[in-house]
Structure 1
Amino acid sequence: MNTENRRKVLKKMALSGLALGSTGLGFSLAETNIDRQLKGNVRHAVSYWTYSYLGLEGLCQTIKKIGFNAIDLLGPKDWPTIKAHGVECSMCNGAEISLTQGFNDPNNHAQLIKNYSELIPLVAEAGYTNLICFSGNRNGMDDETGLNNCMEGLKKIIHLAEKHGVILHMELLNSKIDHKDYMCDRSAWGVELCKRVDSENFKLLYDIYHMQIDEGDLIRTIRENHTYFGHYHTAGNPGRGEIDDSQEINYPAVIKAIVETGFKGFVAQEFAPKASDKIASLEQAIRICDV
């Protein structure tokens, strides 16, 4: 919410005699856009690590006040807490080894197959759908070898994902700035892997921030490859901060293009807030993406 709009809301509530009670989360009820409804075209979420300073319960309370109810990147130990608040896990984690040790290295396959075979049924039992995975770093490996290694590893668990209705999402990350040497750093490589795995239960997590850095051409890429993209992340570039007009990505246009493809999954905010009022930044980001 910008300063002028916030002043109007505060003035309106003061004139109506409503109390401005503290929520205990660093903001008052008057500082949220409780008088505005989201449009319903986008399923909004936020990645937990970006607002972990609130604690999980605090973040659950915050997002419900803003008007959405999904959090990314939570594992089994977190699910009872969000369920108690009526909040959904929009992207589960906990089976991966690390971002750098993934399916492109056969030496990781035994551990990854064990981890995912154990977690996939738990994700389904909890009522969730999405589970993250990673390619791992190249470590001198060429694209073709990496594709074949990932395919071979994923093929050993994809039948279990299909059986339980769980979708594995490999995240696209930039290798230029944040994740040096990461293999799944281009949409074309990820799309080719999807074709080789050949299952509706394996898709890509298209991180808009990361792909702006490594390849750009966001809207065209989304329009041409949207059937392979099952989840989206946001952040402002450069700097991974707020997605407002201080950065270069035209988020309303990008999100509109996503909606126009018929996408029914989640768009999760994953920017690292820089402003002093971090909750206002989250609400602003939701409004920006609520096309």
Structure 2
Amino acid sequence: MTTTSNGISRRTALGQLAAGVAALGAMPLLAAADAVPGKAAPVKATPGRLRQSLSRWTSKAPLPELCKHLKAIGFSGVDLLYADEWAVVADHGLAVTMGYPARRDDFISMGFNDPANHAILLKELEATIPLAKRAGLTNMITMFGNRKPGISDSQAVDNCIAGLSKIAPLAAENGITVCVELLNSKVDHHGYQGDSTAFGVAVMKGINSPNVKLLYDIYHMQIMEGDVIHTIRDNIPWIGHFHTGGVPGRHEIDGTQELNYHAIAKAIADLDFKGYIAHEFTPSLSDPYASFAEAFKICTV
């Protein structure tokens, strides 16, 4: 059992943190026991100019097994993890490159576009941002949410600015970037309001905080609007994180799909982007690790 610098056990420290979350009255959060082991171990330098990670949901392998394979390939971390998974990744010397503030079935549809959601969303983030700092995370995800009757795009922008501006100071205090994801509403997430770069950038400009940025999902934005490299170049100050995926089908990012991911990765690296690019696709090969390794190679620039 690992101990902290003052001699108490990891489990004891995590229990104390869990009690703190309960005292804050957080909405459905993970049981925080085993959630925060302290800051993640230093990650070895990766080849190329971009730090790459892999979204957890893309693999059915047990998390410890996945971490071992990803580290051997050269990945920097694992993306989209709940608090009770953070310690496992850190113990394998990888970074948690994006954390969830809560586990909810309506996580995507409930967003900051509707003021009725603000109290719940802010409470979740207020509870988990300090935990994320203790665990060595730098990014937490949240959503714009599905369209609601009577809320136009312009009203939704204003609502998102009002809600996210309230969490920006706490995020800054803890060194966390709250990343709001752009998703497609044509294929995968019908009704999602944050389905264009213009919508997301309007929100980011209204908040104007380095601690609230866009999660620019290349797969989703290729479906909605294309012109990916040009769009990224024009809006890189507002982007904090990237996701990949092959179009169409959301499989490998190789030559079987329509995007040139090596060129996209080079364009991102040329902008001196310091965040993470996380692969988020469903492998179609019999050996998923071969797919992950190929994606890593394609985006090594």
Aligned to 1:16: none
* Equivalent residue for 1:277, pick from 266, 287, 297: 287
1:200 corresponds in structure 2 to 210
**Deviations, residues 117-160 of structure 1 (Å, cap 9, x unaligned):** 10111111111110001010012321111011111111221111
Superposition deviation, residue 275 in structure 1: 1.2
Aligned to 2:93: 86
1:98-247 matches, within 5 Å, as 98-140=107-149, 141-247=151-257
Query: How far, CA to CA, are the matches of 2:166 and 2:102 in structure 1?
Result: 15
* One-letter amino acid of the counterpart of residue 224, structure 1: D
Amino acid at match of 1:288: I
**Cα shift readout 1:18-42 (whole Å, capped 9, x = no counterpart):** xxxxxxxxxxxxxxxxxxx953311
Measure, in 1, the Cα distance between the counterparts of 2:209 and 2:143: 17
**Secondary structure of 2:80's match?**
strand
- Higher mean alpha-carbon deviation, 255-264 vs 75-84, is at 75-84
Of residues 39, 49, 69 in structure 1, which corresponds to 2:47? 39
SS of 1:150 mapped into structure 2: helix
* Matches of 1:209 and 1:265, distance apart in 2: 18
Per the normalisation by structure 2, the TM-score is 0.82
The answer to whether the 8 Å contact 1:162/1:201 transfers is yes
Paired letter, 2:58:
T
Within 1, Cα distance between the matches of 2:190 and 2:204? 23
Question: 1:60·1:69 contact (CA, 8 Å) conserved in 2?
Answer: no
Retained in 2: the 8 A contact 1:96–1:102? no
Q: Which moved more, 1:73-82 or 1:242-251?
A: 73-82
TM-score by length of 1: 0.85
Partners of 2:252 and 2:280 in 1: how far apart? 9
- Secondary structure of 1:177's match? coil
Structure 2 stretches of 5 or more lacking a match? Answer: 1-44
CA distance in 2 between counterparts of 1:80 and 1:269 reads: 21
Q: Aligned AA for 1:79?
A: W
Equivalent in the alignment of 1:267:
277
Structure 1 runs of 4+ off > 6 angstroms? none
Q: How far did residue 169 of structure 1 move?
A: 0.3
The verdict on how the C-alpha distance between 1:151 and 1:96 changes in structure 2, with shifts beyond 3 A counting, is: farther
1:58 aligns with 2:65: yes
Give the letter for the 2:274 counterpart.
K
What is the rounded CA distance, in whole Å, between the counterparts of 2:214 and 2:129 in structure 1? 17
- Taking the aligned partners of 1:38 and 1:207, their CA distance within structure 2 comes to 22
Structure 1 portions without partners, runs of 5+: 1-36
CA contact (8 A) 2:82 2:103 kept: no
Q: Give the aligned CA root-mean-square deviation in angstroms.
A: 1.3
Task: Provide the secondary structure at the position in 1 that maps to 2:97.
Answer: strand
